[in-house]
Amino acid sequence: MKKVILSIFSVAALSTATLFAPVQTGKLVCGRTHHLEKTRSTADFDAIIRENKKVVVDFYAEWCGPCKKLSPVIDALSKEMNDVVFLKINVDQHEGLSNKFGIRGIPTLILFKDGQKVGQTGAKTKDQLKSYIQATLK
């Protein structure tokens, strides 16, 4: 399988616009970072979770220091873990999804396998996070 990172955040935040491409709901084109627009619905999120076998969702905010520190770790893991979809959700722009999953602190990572939530964690080192993802999603 191939890898993918999805990101849900404002167009203004796309300083590296060449790295991002629009994403369709459901099964995703792998091998690049995707941009899922703020206007996408919870149903779009649900379709992505349902139609991709292994998904790591990173709830973050642009102003969050620990989130900024974790971002390159998520990017690196997406390149190494070819069978996992990485989805970034800006909590300030997607309050409905944040509330749906009870996000009270960020960064929060939720792991899904076959459409079901199987794990949740916060910031960790790259090695710790990789081990946690591999063990939880095996």
Measured from the Cβ of residue 48, the count of other Cβ atoms closer than 10 Å reads 25
CA dihedral (132, 9, 102, 54) positive or negative: negative
Catalytic residue check, 67 = yes
**What does DSSP say about strands 20-22 and 33-35: parallel, antiparallel, or unpaired?**
parallel
Q: Which candidate in 55, 64, 81, 87 is catalytic? A: 64
Radius of gyration (C-alpha) of the chain in whole angstroms? 13
Q: Which candidate in 36, 49, 67, 73 is catalytic? A: 67
Catalytic residue check, 30 = no
Per DSSP, what are the bridge partners of residue 110?
Answer: 57, 120
Place of tokens 């149903």: 43
Write out the two tokens for 133: 């993802």
Rounded CA-CA distance 98/40 in Å is 14
Rounded CA-CA distance 17/115 in Å is 29
Residues annotated as catalytic are 64, 67
